[in-house]
Chains A and B, each alone.
Chain A
């Protein structure tokens, strides 16, 4: 497969076009700072959704602790950036947050990923709670009062850059032999093991990569929204991320991207409905799930639908 295949050139052109259009609309003042918040939430949702999809959708390990990794990324980046307050500090914070989240992912993954199904879900849930309570009680994170005055460095360029990087890296991982090993674990763990795949190792790898990108999402979040407190990363945040994955389709990166966009836009659009909005939101989710129980995309990708691969 050539790097400059027709497919890749088309994707690259599409990406550059998207970036340029949003950039131009912003400069002409058609997109205001309110729209920008929705765009930020779109990008953060996509990163979270795609990274959890790797763990839950492709490797088949139900994790309810994604918000915990997000919290680590958010706090590490915020603390570093409040010290340095520069673009360099921001990049350093994002990377440090992601790496620490991944390390925690490995540490927690090794003992818990021996569990399956419900047991794993509960263990990961517990892990996220522990992370949250640690941040709640640390002096440096200012406890329940929260961190205030985090400088804003997240902008359209960085959001776009990290979102594209996440999607490209995770889709390449899935299409590699390691990725196929992960998918085989989802399909049948015993069969995969009998074919010589080290299932625990691959589960931990998927878990760590997922945690890494959740850390990036958290870091982007913290340097966009100025303010952090541990309650943001509670159990419900993990469920929100899981909704993106299930809605988009377990095992479809395109699905997670679409669902990530949909959820963020819906949240913004329903702001005017005050008390009714959670009902409308829930109804829409129920309707989509009734008509498409496999999620918006099922396990298909946009590239399957456009039929690139057959012509090559």
Chain B
């Protein structure tokens, strides 16, 4: 699979012929220097973007041949995200932020959604903070809400983009613990973009992107 973009009227190759397979339940870290194409690769794997050539198969569906709407449907059913900037909706409470993916999925049972969300918030240590708005939470707490949000749909694949990039060391360690714990509990495939070698070591596999190529770094 390749990916290039047009920049200042010239074509810039970001990924130059990458090929690999990630099996169900695996945890994989994607590493590389800044600008190497880690986030581009993750966007492609999650179906947020389309490759220039080649194909991508996610959960037995060739997402590189699907249109926007079809890929959105797959994401709502089987994919979870954790972002570096948390990206919570400021006008929604912690509980409402967690139930949001259920709403996007068309899940109608408000009571059961709320019950599930409360349980997840409890798991991430935010019991009693359900009605708080993001502005009333610290960075670490916001990321914990984001974790709960990512797991509420019981996704088959979880994408995490530098999930601890905006947090201090202690909080980051706590979030990572939670992430791996929940991942293990739900048997989710985890694909993690990170600069942190220690974090990468906790994954079963590490893919290193360098000069548009992908190398597997055996753990």
A, B co-complexed:
no
Please list the residues of chain B having a beta carbon within 8 angstroms of any beta carbon in chain A.
none
